[in-house]
Amino acid sequence: MSSVRSGSPAPSLYSFHPSIDERLVLRSVHGRILNSQNETYMLPADVEEHQRLDLQHQIYTLMLGDLYTAPEMVHHALRPRNDYQPAIFDVGTGSGSWALDMAKAFPHCNVVGVDLAPIRVTGPLPENVRFEIDDANLGFAHYRQNFDVIHARAISAGIHDFKGLLREFANALRPGGVLLLADGEMQLYDESKEPLAALEPGEPGFTWTQKVFFAAYNAMKNRGGCIDSPTLTPRWLQEDGHFTNIGWNKIFVPIGPWVETASPRERQMAEMMRTNTLTHINGMAPLLLSEGYFPETVEKMQREAAIEVQSLRVHLYSRWNFAWAIKAA
Ligand SMILES: C[S@@+](CC[C@H](N)C(=O)[O-])C[C@H]1O[C@@H](n2cnc3c(N)ncnc32)[C@H](O)[C@@H]1O
């Protein structure tokens, strides 16, 4: 029997947060939904975005050499128990690829994935995984001390109060449970791994790729997303007081195979990151248009950035932040 209650009485593929009905989706604008509070969310509404997330999932797995950081902590938290079935929570599950892989890797565990948008179901789901529609900004009052591992990856743009969300995660974890956080940055880095400045065309060091990423960063921030949280979470975890064994790591991945000394594995990752970045740039149009950019400005930024990335004219690094912690007893 499952040890994880659903937010809904219906044991269906999709269930709903108790209060999400009050926040019914009113309309869709450029791939975002507006709810009754006029809050806006980006949705991975189209197939291309879910395919990008599947690719990004493979990149994360290559970066870590596994599905997660802190493997000893994770294995300990998910060890088989006599009294209950261990449970895993994937918040902002996207295409569901991490949740599905975890369900296969830990068949004795229950896995719950939640997102504002449904996953794309392409085949039968493993019996130990369930997906729900839910908004992490509403908290998880219906999940108290339910989970042994909570995973939240690349969700900061959709979160209004990341510190508050960490408190929700602490409440949803069993004592001894593990929190796993991961996110890429919208800040890009030069070949010396120094952050690129926000420059205008004609200024030395200007790149269109940084310009379009910076424009998207500002748009996400203006929309209330906690877009700076990837670099701040280690401090917030310490300040929260509910966590011990806090650790973090930052991994640089080149955008495209421009590092001559790279190993075959690093080259493969860099190539995948180039594809990921090109799709990411391609998908930024709705966000930038809704921010008030003229369509021709958006098209130019996207076109020029894509040429830079495709041709390796600029040598750029992306940076990926990981943090983990144990819920104190
Ligand atoms: C960039 S995708 C990452 C998906 C997945 N975690 C991964 O790493 O492949 C961000 C996901 O977070 C979801 N998301 C954003 N804000 C959310 C919120 N407030 N509640 C639930 N899901 C949210 C989005 O709908 C999207 O599917």
Query: Residue 323 maps to which CATH number?
Result: 3.40.50.150
Q: Is 122 exposed, middle or buried (0-12, 13-18, 19+ CB in 10 A)?
A: exposed
β-strand 147-153 against 173-184: which pairing, if any? parallel
Phi, psi dihedral angles at 164 (to 5 degrees) = -65, -35
Q: What pLDDT, in 10s, does the model give residues 129-141?
A: 999 999 999 999 9
Q: What does the pLDDT average to over 258-282?
A: 96
Question: If you average pLDDT over residues 228-253, what whole number do you get?
Answer: 96
pLDDT in tens, 189-203: 999 999 999 999 999
- Residue 15 lies inside a defined structural domain of this protein: no
182 lines ligand 1 (CB under 6 A): no
Does 321 fall in a domain? Answer: yes
Band of pLDDT at residue 36, cut at 50, 70 and 90? very low
CA distance 77 to 178: 7
pLDDT band at 115 (very low <50, low <70, confident <90, very high): very high
Residue 294 CB neighbours (<10 A): 10
Does residue 193 fall inside a structural domain? yes
* Nearest protein Cα to ligand 1, atom 17: 158
Is residue 137 a contact partner of residue 160, using CB atoms and an 8 Å limit? Answer: yes
Query: Total structural domains in the chain?
Result: 1
Percentage of the chain lying above the pLDDT 70 cut: 86
Position 10 in a domain: no
Q: Which domain holds residue 174?
A: 20-327
pLDDT class of 12 with cuts at 50, 70, 90: very low
| Cα dihedral 267, 229, 279, 66 in deg (nearest 10) | 40
Domain membership flag for residue 9: no
Q: Is 115 in the pocket of ligand 1 (CB under 6 A)?
A: yes
SS3 224: coil
Residue 164 lies in a domain: yes
- Position 231 in a domain: yes
Q: Is the pLDDT of residue 44 over 60?
A: no
Nearest CA to ligand 1 atom 9: 53
What is the average pLDDT across 232-236? Answer: 96
Tell me the CA–centroid distance for residue 139 and ligand 1, in Å.
15
The answer to whether residues 224 and 216 touch, using CB atoms and an 8 Å cutoff, is: no
**pLDDT reported for residue 124:** 85
pLDDT of 19 strictly over 60: no
Q: 260 CA to middle of ligand 1, Å?
A: 34
Question: How high is the mean pLDDT of the chain?
Answer: 88
The verdict on residue 113 lying in a domain is yes
Q: Is 251 helix (H, G, I), strand (E, B) or coil?
A: strand
C-alpha separations of 124 from 95, 190, 283 in Å: 15, 44, 29
The model's confidence at residue 206, banded by pLDDT at 50, 70 and 90, is very high
